[in-house]
Copies of this chain bind each other. A is one copy, B any other.
Amino acid sequence: MARFMDVHSGMNGIDQQGLEAAHLADAQIEGDENVHFLHAWADPATGKVFCLSEAPDKDAVLRIHEKAGHPTSEIYEIALEVE
């Protein structure tokens, strides 16, 4: 399993309820592709949402987001991290 950061644009005005609903929609089907979403961060002012996940590959993450109703094509494989 690898880690990925994907980026959604255009989600301006999303609120906490909307973010939780989107995350739940992903979570309910993520097992279909062996994806697990770990965290999501949103900036309603610019419409950017960042999602961190574990998955077999990029396409698996993108398919779950698409099926859940919030498709994106911007995704990065996280090979390195520090805290």
Identify the A interface with B (CB < 8 A): 3, 5, 14-16, 19-20, 23, 38-46, 48, 50, 52, 76-83
Contacts and interface: CB of A to CB of B under 8 A. Distances in A.
A48 B5 CA distance: 10
Contact of A42 (B38, B41, B43, B79): B79
A79 B19 CA distance: 11
Contact of A5 (B3, B14, B41, B82): B41
A20 B83 CA distance: 9
A48 B40 CA distance: 18
A15 to B, nearest CB: 7
B80 A39 contact: no
Contacts of A41: 3, 5, 52, 76, 78, 80-81
